[in-house]
Amino acid sequence: MDVLDPTTDSQFMRMALGLAHQAFHAEEVPVGAVLVQKGKILATGFNQRESTQDPTAHAELMAIRSASMALGSWRLTDTTLYVTLEPCAMCAGAIIQARISRVVFGTWDPKAGACGSICNLTAETRFN
């Protein structure tokens, strides 16, 4: 797991916000994600549902897929995911399945958030 450092968290969250800005300009829901391991960026992603017509093309999943391909493993242990919006249930499930150690999100999502707003799937100890 990455060491907890507010400066580092802010740096990677700023990068995620930049990706959300890209999504906005692409007429997507403006969400960005950065996946980090030991201070190194493994992958980034932003929402691409409209451009791909893929309902699973959320920022988190784009970053998870990219990192898994780059590492040759679906197990993304000892990583931190920075995302601008609280992950939904689908993304929280992928985070759990990928064994991502830590999630830092920029704002709560009272409509669809599954990391504390509606429910907290990532805190459920019965999963992986």
The catalytic residues are 60
* Three-class DSSP labels, the chain: CCCCCHHHHHHHHHHHHHHHHHHHHCCCCCCEEEEEECCEEEEEEECCHHHHCCCCCCHHHHHHHHHHHHHCCCCCCCCEEEEEECCCHHHHHHHHHCCCCEEEEEECCCCCCCECCCCEHHHCCCCC
